[in-house]
Amino acid sequence: MRTTWLGAPMLALLMLTGCGDDAPAPDPGPFEIEGQWVYLGPSDVPHTLTITRTSMAYADVDGKWSSSWAIKAYDNTLHHFHVTFDTGVGAYLPMGQAMSGSYDLGPPFLTVQLASGDSYPALQSPGACTAETSGMPLPECRLYHKP
């Protein structure tokens, strides 16, 4: 009898605890970098970037490749985002299954520093994608302009 009495509340507690796992995350509001962007450099081929609250779409200006990424999370205060690969055609950029990014928004420019996986990369050169001392392109850094 005692086991049943202790077991029922424990089972109820475990069931209630599991219910919260499926609860939707709170809406973070608009993503501050939403819109159309044109790639300026430093080293990839010319492309566009279209950002919505739920996706990022890269497209080569010559139409040779494109890729779509689902936005899993973003934080306007910390200037971070996390995306996972959705679809791609051709030798698309960027490459990978999941990426995180840090960004700087200095209208009309957007600087994005990408990294594979979940860790947020440090943005080394806001407003530029070249090293301050050598002037060399920074890996996985992209500079965009809002047309």
Query: Per-residue pLDDT tens for 29-72?
Result: 899 999 999 999 888 889 999 999 999 999 999 999 999 999 99
Per-domain boundaries in the chain: 32-145
Please tell me the pTM assigned to this model: 0.78
Tokens coding 11: 């089972």
pLDDT at 22: 60
- Considering only CA atoms, which of 138, 136, 92, 88 is closest in space to residue 112? 138
Give 120: exposed, middle or buried? Use CB within 10 Å, 0-12, 13-18, 19+: middle
Per residue in 6-37, pLDDT tens?
A: 444 443 433 444 444 566 666 778 999 999 99
Is 57 buried (19+), middle (13-18) or exposed (0-12) by CB count in 10 A? middle
